Amino acid sequence: MLDKLKDITTFIFDVDGVLTDGSVYVTDSGEQGRQFNIKDGYAIQLAVKCGYNVCAISGSRSKIALHRLNSLGVQDVHIGAHTKTLNFKSYVEEKGINPQNVLYMGDDIPDLEVMKLVGLPVCPADAAEEIKAVSTYISPIAGGRGCVRDVIEKVLKIQQKWMGEQAYSW
């Protein structure tokens, strides 16, 4: 896996179950909330500052995810994606990205086909068994608990960008 880390230029993440723990908090008025991990957020904004392509593709229509990711500098957020492979193919074509340079982190069946198209498919510790079976790396950390930080940190460290000057400005 270490060989693949040095070639990563792009991070793509599912939202529910990866950037969140998969829980949905519903208020009396019917609004749905999600909880995000601050360490994941730090790593995401650092990856953006270091010049990586960062994208999220989610089947959910969560505006909360859109706002959270935009606040971290992620402009490429695809919500309501019913066929994630279409969003993925469109994104890499539009940006001129080689799929072999993509790390995709997913946790459940809707992520399976996209994960077969990328150079480095990874998942959180609590991913579905089918996802674990196609993953090159399984983070020891569960979704929404720092698994995104785990994979971003590994890539940035091997590419010697983890403790650069961007690391100190949040």
- The sign of the dihedral angle between the CA atoms of 66, 113, 99, 141 is positive
Using only C-alpha atoms, the chain has a radius of gyration, in whole angstroms, of 15
| CB-neighbour burial class of residue 28 (10 A; exposed 0-12, middle 13-18, buried 19+) | exposed
What's phi and psi for 13, nearest 5 deg?
Answer: -125, 140
**Is there a binding annotation on residue 14?**
yes
14 close to 113: Cβ distance less than 8 angstroms: no
Indicate the burial class of 117 (C-beta count within 10 angstroms; 0-12, 13-18, 19 or more).
Answer: middle
For the annotated binding site, the residues are 14, 16, 107
For the annotated binding site for Mg(2+), the residues are 14, 107
For the annotated binding site for substrate, the residues are 16
